[in-house]
Amino acid sequence: MPPPPVCSRARGPRDGVSRTPPEIDANELTGVLATPGWLRDLGRTSWLLVGLILLVVAAVWIMSLTQAIVAPLITAAVVAAVAAPLIGWAERHGVPRLVGAVLLLVGFVALAAGVVVVVLGGITSQSGDVSAHLADAKDTLAGWLKDLGVDPSKAESAKSDASSAASGAISTLLNGVAGGLKQLSSLVFFLALTALSLIFLLKDGPEIRAWGERHLGVPLPLAKTISTRCLESLRGYFFGVTLVATFNAAVVAVGALLLGVPLVGTIAAVTFLAAYVPYLGAWTAGAFSVLVALGGAGTDAAIGMIVVQLLANGVLQQVVQPIAYGAALGIHPLAVLVVTIAGGSLFGAAGLILAAPVTSAAVRISADLSRARGSPDGAEDGSAPKADAVPA
């Protein structure tokens, strides 16, 4: 039997739709799969930030390994930047820079020795009274807890905890220096290297600054702008800190005097010096003054000293701080708080102290560059501000 006939009907498209893919013009594909410009810029910026962060981390790590040298140099550089105007003034009055640097260093040493004598001498003289009043304060604390309905056993436990804490505080307060003598060799090395570096920075400051500006890797006018703004911010910041420290010390001293707290001079000195450690210093000085008030004048005086500290470092300081920091730094007090805490977390004590002035310098340099781009003729017109005659 012959095979069935093969159907010769062509397999055409269903519903009139062609199955042949259309031809694509290669020119039409240009930019179809390309990365969007904003994403490409964001990626490039992210890699640059990653590289910058790695560079900063590496620099901090290297400095931490060489902190025995780096810490004295940073300390001397900050002191030299703040004290350089005094050396410049003395030089203009006929005093050689080397002589002025030595005299300034001798003055620093004498001032530091006087403060140490006042603080330690005052604490030692009142050690017996402090211990006796602290014992009375513990009994008062236990009585308050019982009056508030706290279980007597728990009140006695709280008294015991307070006793151990107070004993530890007094021991640290009165004998901490003796423990610190174990590290006297490293302290002596630190002070010696700081003093030597300070003398060189004060004596040869103009040459060191000029060399740094020439090797900064940017045009010389911009380098002078950067160095000038950094010096202005450092000096302005420490001038503002000094104003705030003087105000706090005066308020606390007057409060201690009215409350009958002993060691008024010691409390004022500690309050003044602690103000140079942002935020943390105020709490430390406050705890010291309350402890002295508790031990030397009783519980009521300690409560009064707490109120005085809150006023000095809170309400009243808000009146002085914007005036002291506003013109000096040119940044909001909240920004000062944020960058100070961040700097302390990342870079330790150096970051805690230098974060605010470095941020202020960066803001001012950015403003100078913006003005320079906007006008071809000057600083209000685009040029760099005049560099100080006295270097850091």
pLDDT reading at 387 higher than 50: no
Task: Indicate whether 183 belongs to any domain.
Answer: yes
Name the least confident of 53-62, 234-243, 380-389: 380-389
Give the pLDDT mean for 94-102: 89
C-alpha triplet 360, 377, 358: angle, nearest 5°: 10
1 located within any domain? no
What is the structure's pLDDT at 247?
A: 85
pLDDT for the residue 294: 74
The more confident residue out of 323 and 194 is 194
Of the listed ranges 85-89, 113-117, 149-153, 268-272, the least confidently predicted one is 149-153
Task: List pLDDT tens digits, range 365-375.
Answer: 888 888 888 75
Mean pLDDT, rounded, of the chain: 75
- Flag whether pLDDT at 315 surpasses 80: no
pTM, 2 dp = 0.65
Residue 182 CB neighbours (<10 A) = 9
Is the confidence at residue 385, as pLDDT, over 80? no
- Which one has a higher pLDDT value, 172 or 351? 351
Residue 37 pLDDT level (bands cut at 50, 70, 90): confident
Q: Is the pLDDT of residue 117 over 80?
A: no
Lowest mean pLDDT, pick from 15-19, 72-76, 189-193: 15-19
Ranges 47-61, 123-137, 250-264: which has the least confidence: 123-137
Q: Is residue 347 part of a domain?
A: yes
In a domain, 390, yes or no: no
Residue 153 lies in a domain: yes
pLDDT of residue 345: 79
- 323-332: average pLDDT: 69
What value does the mean pLDDT take over residues 66-72? 82
Longest Cα separation, the chain = 133
Domain-located, residue 19: no
**pLDDT value of residue 326:** 62
- Does residue 42 lie in a domain region? no
Taking 70 as the threshold, does the pLDDT of residue 260 lie above it?
yes
| Averaged pLDDT for residues 343-365 | 82
Number of domains composing the chain: 1
- Domain around 280: 67-374
Structure tokens at 125: 């003289």
Least confident of 61-65, 176-180, 354-358: 176-180
Give the pLDDT score at 389. Answer: 40
pLDDT at residue 220 tops 70: yes
Q: How confident is the model over 373-390, as a mean pLDDT?
A: 49
pLDDT at 30: 64
Has residue 163 been placed in a domain? yes
